[in-house]
Amino acid sequence: MSAAIKGPSLTLKAREAISGWLFVSPILTGFMIFFVGPLIAVFYYSTTEWNLLSQQSHFVGIENYVDALTRNDTFWDVLVNSLVFAAGLVPLNMLLALGLALALSRSVRGAVFFRTVFFAPVITSAVAWAIIWTFLLQHESGAVNRALSVIGINGPNWLHEPHWAMASVIFTRVLKTVGLNMILYIAALQSIPRDYTEAARLEGANGWEIFRRITWPLLAPTTLVIMVITVVGSLKVFDHIYLMTGGGPQNATLVLAFYIYEQGFKFFNTGYASALAVILFVLILALTILQTILKAARK
């Protein structure tokens, strides 16, 4: 269709294209300036070293990456910590979310109440949640250890012993975020037609068989989405670490996102911190691509 309505030169198609670009241009311009630009810049910064005294930067090539991968032991600790954090958080979070969703997906009495309870931390700010848990996990007089002492357990100094600190951060982070995954699972469960499970039941299948052969396969796309969201979420955890442990004790909870902040804004190692940010970018990009491939393979 090329009939011009108004004006001699602009076709309808051209006018639509102009409108289209005008509509997207505000968000697109901002996105270019505050996201794409900085994303390109972080690659550049990662090849430079900033001198605090002379206030100048010079090109060092891949030196920052070599530094991270070969010379700096902290980097490997950080990577292991991030891995441990994800390996602890993701399965725990997803299993709990699935269990809660299975228990609460039907509209039985009380289900709405429990859903409200388990979702409440999701809308609470992470800072508030971390502050309250830091309070509860204090060594001698924290509520958790007091409760444990009632049943005769002498609780550890949660946030100041390396292994317990990691466990505490994982556990409180799961509590904070599990409600979201529960809701996503509930939405998916509710979209499974009742007839499927009813038919299986009539054939004599028990609850576990129905779950394994019908529910679980039908949930697979949701599980994939939830897994990617949760892994990415675990890689960018910052506020919990900042408030509960500060990366300590002895770097036991120093994870990648916090390490970037620390190097960039506490020690002003701009180049090195940028190299770390690039590594985080690559990790997340790899996860995104993996998700796309898995999704395509399913079809």
Partner 1 sequence: MTYRTQQKITRICWIIGLCALAIPFVFPFIWMLSGALKGQADVFSSASLIPSKIHWSNFSEIFAYQPFARQYFNSLYIAVLVTGLTLFLASMAGYALARLRFSGSALVLLLLISALMMPEEVTIIPNFFLMKKLGFMNTHMPLILLPLFGSQGVMATFLMRQFFLALPKELEEAGRMDGLSRFGVYFKVALPLSRPALSAVGIITFLFSWNLFLEPLVFVNDIELFTLPLALANFTDTYGLPLWHLQLAATALAVIPMLIVYILAQRQIVESFALSGVKG
Nearer to partner 1, 218 or 280 (CB): 280
Do the beta carbons of residue 229 and residue 145 sit within 8 Å?
no
Count the alpha carbons within 13 Å of 248 in the hemisphere toward its beta carbon.
Answer: 9
Closest distance to partner 1 from the beta carbon of 155 (Å):
14
Question: Per CB under 8 A, does 66 bind partner 1?
Answer: no
126, 159, 210, 252: which one contacts partner 1 (CB under 8 A)? 126
- The residue (of 84 and 229) whose beta carbon lies closer to partner 1 is 229
In the list 4, 66, 80, 128, the residue contacting partner 1 (rule: CB under 8 A) is 128
Nearer to partner 1, 166 or 239 (CB): 239
Does the footprint of partner 1 cover residue 143 (CB under 8 A)? yes
Q: CB under 8 A: which stretch of 39-47, 74-82, 193-201, 205-213 binds partner 1? A: 39-47
Q: Which amino acid is at 250?
A: Q
| Least distance to partner 1, CB of residue 78, Å | 13
Is 129 an interacting residue with respect to partner 1 (CB under 8 A)? yes
95 belongs to the binding site for partner 1 (CB under 8 A)? no
Angle at 75 between CA 74 and CA 79, to 5 degrees: 115
Question: 214 or 287: whose CB is closer to partner 1?
Answer: 287
| φ and ψ at residue 252, rounded to 5 degrees | -65, -25
Check binding of 102 to partner 1 (CB under 8 A): no
Site for partner 1 in 211-270 (CB under 8 A): 225-226, 228-229, 232, 235-236, 238-239, 242-243, 256-257, 260-261, 264-265, 270
According to the binding rule CB under 8 A, does residue 80 interact with partner 1?
no
Quick check: 60 binds partner 1 (CB under 8 A)?
no
Q: Extract the tokens encoding 287.
A: 């996860």
* Between 114 and 196, CB nearer to partner 1: 114
What is the closest distance, in whole angstroms, from the C-beta atom of residue 224 to partner 1 in the complex?
8
Subset of 156-215 contacting partner 1 (CB under 8 A): 175, 180, 183-184, 186-187
The smaller minimum CB distance to partner 1, of residues 68 and 257, is found at 257
CA–CA separation, 132 and 120 (whole Å): 14
Residue 73 CB, shortest distance to partner 1, in Å, is 22
223: its two tokens: 């599980």
Binding residues for partner 1, rule CB under 8 A, total 91
Query: Is there a contact between 2 and 17 (Cβ–Cβ < 8 Å)?
Result: no
Structure tokens at 50: 């900033």
Give DSSP secondary structure letters for 183-195: HHHHHHHHTS-HH
CA–CA separation, 67 and 32 (whole Å): 31
Q: Residue 68, SS3?
A: helix
Instruction: Find the DSSP H helices in the chain.
Output: 12-31, 37-45, 63-66, 73-104, 111-123, 126-136, 143-150, 162-190, 194-202, 207-210, 216-235, 239-244, 256-261, 270-298
